[in-house]
Amino acid sequence: MNDAVNELEDGGESENNADDEIRLMRRYHLGAIAEESAGLESLLRGVFASLLGSPRATVVAAGQNMTWLTINALAIIDTNDEVRGPSLGDPEKVARFRAAIKQCGDLYKRRNQLIHGAWFDGDAALTQLRSKWRQPQAFAVEVQVGEIEGLAEEFNKASGELMAAIFEVKGILAE
């Protein structure tokens, strides 16, 4: 940590105290996003393995990221009756389950933008350099504190929604 952050922790004043507070909050919330998304990714790994229905499915799922897990879990759900029986159950409950999995992928895209963008300290301490497909031509984006604060909670809610949906379909947990 830099000296300004240490001064904040010691209760001292800094010339850029407001910027330092924003920077600390950004880091705190980015850490919460990383923590919540890791839990959801682990849950989705288990869902994928259950959908695949093989004792070796955990080997296939190991190390895969949320995007891969989401795409492949949705593919299995979409072709479930053709590829794997028995049916997952009531179509409305399967649709909820599918939507919960899709939401994982949507949240992961937002997570990646915040986690993998390069932050730099500007006047508001909330400016991020991003590039499309990791190209060298980066562009600056102003990020609101609320955008960072809310995403960890969205991951938490998505985990709850996915867990609830898991209990409504057949074949993911014990029948």
pLDDT in tens, 64-78: 999 999 999 999 998
* Residue-range domain boundaries for the chain: 3-104+146-166
Prediction pTM value? 0.77
Calculate mean pLDDT across residues 14-40: 85
Dig out the tokens for 46 from the structure. Answer: 């288990």
Q: Residues 65, 107: contact at Cβ < 8 Å?
A: no
Residue 80's pLDDT is 73
Nearest 5°: phi and psi at 79? Answer: -115, 20
Residue 71's pLDDT is 96
Helix axes 145-166, 17-52, angle to 10 degrees: 20
DSSP label at 173? S
Q: Within 13 Å, how many C-alpha atoms sit on residue 133's CB side?
A: 0
pLDDT above 50 for 36 = yes
Q: Residues 33, 151: contact at Cβ < 8 Å?
A: yes
